[in-house]
Structure 1
Amino acid sequence: MSRLRGISTMVALVMLLQLVLAAVVSAGAYDPGLHESEHVTTGEDLFPALIINDFNTQEDASAWKAGTNTKEVKFVTSIQNGPNGPYEGAGALEQIPNNVKVYEWRTIYRDFDQRSIFSLIVI
C-alpha cells in the first residue's frame, strides 16, 4: 500500500510542478522598437455585394457541372471534414473527383446568364 501511495504522491508532485512552471513562464520582454515588416498583412472581413449561390436547395447545386478530372458535383447537407455541416444555409456543394494525382487540377463550372446577373447589381 505504501508503494502505491509513494507513486501517487510523485505523480501529484509532478503535476503540481507543471502548474507552477506554467505560471512562471512568460513571453519575452516588450520591445517598443519592434515594428511589422512589409511582409505582414492584416486581415479584414469581405462580404460579397451579391450572393450568386448559397446552395440551400438541390436546384441551386444542379446548375454546377463537372469539369476537368471531376466525376460528379452534388448537393449535400453534411460534410466529413470540419464542422460536419455548412456554417450557414441548408447545404453545400460537393465535388467528387476522378482518381488522379494530387497535383492535377479538378474543376467545376457554371454557365451564368449575363442579363440575370447584371440585373441584380444595384449601382
Structure 2
Amino acid sequence: MDDEQLKRLVLKFVRTLFEGKISDAEKMLMSLKKKARTDVDKRIYLALYGIFFSYTSGDADSLLFKLYSNEDPASQANGFLKVIKEASQPVLGEHDPYVEVWKIILSNVDKIPTPHKLRQQVSSSANASQ
C-alpha cells in the first residue's frame, strides 16, 4: 500500500467512525484484517483497531478524546504530532505503519469531522448550563 492509499484508507475509516457509522467502520476493519498479509498491513490494522476500540469504549484518557476535547484540536494535534515524531523515530524507525496512521490523523484534523460522541457531550453540557 503506497502513502496515498494509506492516507485515503485512514481518513475514510476515521470519518466513518466519527460520523457514528460504527458498524460500517467495523466492517472496514474486518475487511482490512482479512486482507492483512504483511507485517505492514498488520500494523495498520492494529493502529485502526486501537482507535476503534478506544472510541467505541469511550476511553476518556485516549489521545483522540484529549485531542477533540481541547478548544483548538488543530493546535493540539500539531503538538502531539511533534512529540510522536520525536519519540517514535529512534525506536521504531522512520516509517513505522502504526505511527504513520497517527501522523495521518494528526496532520488532517481539520479534514476530519468532530467525533459524534463528543458533539453529543458538548451539546449536553451546553443544555445543562442553560
The TM-score with structure 2 as length reference comes to 0.21
Query: Which structure has the highest strand share of the two?
Result: 1
Query: Which structure has the highest helix share of the two?
Result: 2
Task: Work out which structure has the larger RCO, using CA pairs closer than 8 Å and 6 or more positions apart in sequence.
Answer: 2
